């Protein structure tokens, strides 16, 4: 190998070294940027989580109070209380509705019968409509909304409760019974 060939190899190696140094600096700058982005994403996720918790709390208070009022208006003699239990599973919030009586939690669909489910279903419709912005039509079309409440006094109280809520919130009901 002669001197010219050796100089050519050295020049190539210097160029490769300079390129690698430049690439290393670019990669280090990219790592710094990715770390900053990661921190920003973590902060944003925390902020969104806090906003979601606050929104959830406000929603929970409104829903629980209206549904509890509807249930108590019909089942006056029983100390029912409606609750929404929010749990975070797999980075998602899940909501489980329960009815509490004397400190004991019941899942309405499995343990309390159709009457209470009818009341909860009606109250949920009203709450969700009430929270809409802008509101959709103020007319509810209901097909036997209190089918399983029972007869006599319970059914009369349910009818009175529906009438009172519709009057107070300003919506009309078309009902099939």
- Encode the chain (177 residues) as per-residue pLDDT tens digits: 787 888 888 899 999 999 999 999 999 999 999 999 999 999 998 998 889 888 888 888 888 988 898 888 888 888 889 999 888 778 777 888 889 988 888 887 766 777 888 888 898 888 888 888 887 888 888 888 888 787 788 888 888 888 888 888 888 989 887
- Please state, in angstroms and as integers, the Cα–Cα distance from residue 144 to each residue in 82, 104, 108, following that order: 22, 29, 19
CB 173 within 8 A of CB 166: yes
How many C-beta neighbours within 10 Å does residue 105 have? 13
Q: Are residues 146 and 126 in contact, defined by beta-carbon separation less than 8 angstroms?
A: no
Instruction: List C-alpha distances in Å: 92 to 9, 36, 41, 63, 100.
Output: 59, 25, 17, 20, 25
Among 88, 87, 82, 47, CA closest to 62 = 82
pLDDT at position 34: 94
Question: What is the model's pLDDT at position 39?
Answer: 94
Q: Please check whether residue 99 is in contact with residue 82, taking contact to mean a CB–CB distance below 8 angstroms.
A: yes
Tokens of 120: 């909860």
């Amino acid at each position: 190998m002669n001197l010219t060939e050796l100089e050519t190899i050295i020049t190539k190696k210097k160029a490769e070294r300079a390129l690698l140094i430049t690439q290393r600096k670019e990669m280090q700058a990219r790592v710094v940027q990715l770390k900053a982005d990661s921190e920003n994403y973590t902060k944003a996720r925390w902020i969104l989580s806090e906003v979601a918790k606050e929104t959830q709390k406000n929603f929970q208070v409104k829903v629980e109070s209206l549904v509890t009022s509807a249930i108590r208006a019909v089942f006056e003699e029983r100390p029912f209380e409606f609750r929404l239990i929010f749990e975070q599973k797999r980075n998602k919030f899940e909501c489980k509705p329960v009815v509490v009586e004397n400190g004991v939690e019941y899942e309405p669909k499995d343990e309390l019968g159709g009457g209470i489910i009818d009341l909860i279903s009606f109250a949920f419709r009203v709450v969700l409509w009430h929270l809409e912005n802008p509101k959709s039509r103020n007319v509810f079309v209901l097909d036997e909304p209190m089918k399983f409440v029972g007869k006599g006094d319970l059914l009369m109280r349910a009818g009175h409760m529906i009438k009172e809520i519709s009057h107070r919130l300003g919506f009309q009901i078309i009902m099939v019974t």
